[in-house]
Amino acid sequence: MTDRSPLEQALAGWQLPDGDDLLDRVERMIRPALLAGHFGSSYTRIVSRLQYHLGGAQDTDELADLARLSSADHVLDVCCFIGGPAIQLADRIGCRVTGIDLDRDAIAAAGRLAEVTGLSELLDFRVADAGDLPFEDRTFSVVWNQCSLDPDEHWLEEFDRVLSPGGRFAFTFQMKGTNDDGRWTLEDLISLVERLGYRVDHSDDITQRDIRIGWNALDSRLSEREDEFREVFGPEWVAKAHEEFRGEAEAMRQGKWGNGRIVATKQGSP
């Protein structure tokens, strides 16, 4: 008899399987917890696995290159989910990463992953609000967010407060299209960060890329493991997941919404 929740039991049982690639080993280890719905039941979250954003590890690698990340950096990963990008950055680059999220279960999982992967010295995860960051001014050299940026100027002001001069914003984000839903355009975000005193080093529309390595890749991954998903969730779930992935890809093609990317450097003296 145990008083631990199903999630707590799952986390306690995590042990890395053998293999060469750390991210692959982590994904194999966490798959049962994802299929059990411990971190949410959305089709995208379950099929995305470790990294809950379009493009997965490729998106993380590309953004890290654009932001010129090095082992000297201390990164604040905003809306970090269960810590997939943070693990990738710590493992491949050797930088420190502090991840925040409002989801306590996700943060518990991220902390456990830091232990299991042996990266605890580089990784720290906390439950925190992006609009009210519990950090001192100038704490970080990079503020990082992948496709969960709230179109709220106060978030940018908080990010600016905790970022050191010479530090970088590194964001991928959902852009406004023909659906006027309150999101920013790429030009909106460029203007906002420039008004805060930043130099924009890189900006691009990654909509077409994210159709290919995002929605299409998710649909292919679902097809590759369709028997497993059908056994766990049933054929109706699989059909609806395919419908969602293909529908979102088509909405992007039609320009109803899109994704953008920006890297900007904070000006001023240290």
Contact 76, 140 (CB under 8 A): yes
Contact 141, 73 (CB under 8 A): yes
pLDDT of residue 112: 98
Q: pLDDT (tens digit, 9 = 90+) per residue, 17-75?
A: 999 999 999 999 999 999 999 998 899 999 999 999 999 999 999 999 999 999 999 99
Q: Please indicate, yes or no, if residue 159 is contained in any of the structural domains.
A: yes
Domain of 12, CATH number, reads 3.40.50.150
Q: Please indicate, yes or no, if residue 146 is contained in any of the structural domains.
A: yes
The whole-angstrom separation of Cα 182 and Cα 150 is 10
Q: Please indicate, yes or no, if residue 16 is contained in any of the structural domains.
A: yes
Q: Please indicate, yes or no, if residue 216 is contained in any of the structural domains.
A: no
Q: Please indicate, yes or no, if residue 152 is contained in any of the structural domains.
A: yes
Q: Please indicate, yes or no, if residue 241 is contained in any of the structural domains.
A: no
Q: pLDDT (tens digit, 9 = 90+) per residue, 147-185?
A: 999 999 999 999 999 999 999 999 999 999 998 789 999
Q: Which of 46, 62, 54 is nearest to 215 (CA)?
A: 54
Q: pLDDT (tens digit, 9 = 90+) per residue, 113-146?
A: 999 999 999 999 999 999 999 999 999 999 999 9
Helix axes 235-253, 226-233, angle to 10 degrees: 120
Q: Please indicate, yes or no, if residue 223 is contained in any of the structural domains.
A: no
Q: Please indicate, yes or no, if residue 234 is contained in any of the structural domains.
A: no
Domain that holds residue 193: 6-210+253-266
The tally of domains found in the chain comes to: 1
The whole-angstrom separation of Cα 124 and Cα 21 is 22
Secondary structure letter of residue 212 according to DSSP? I
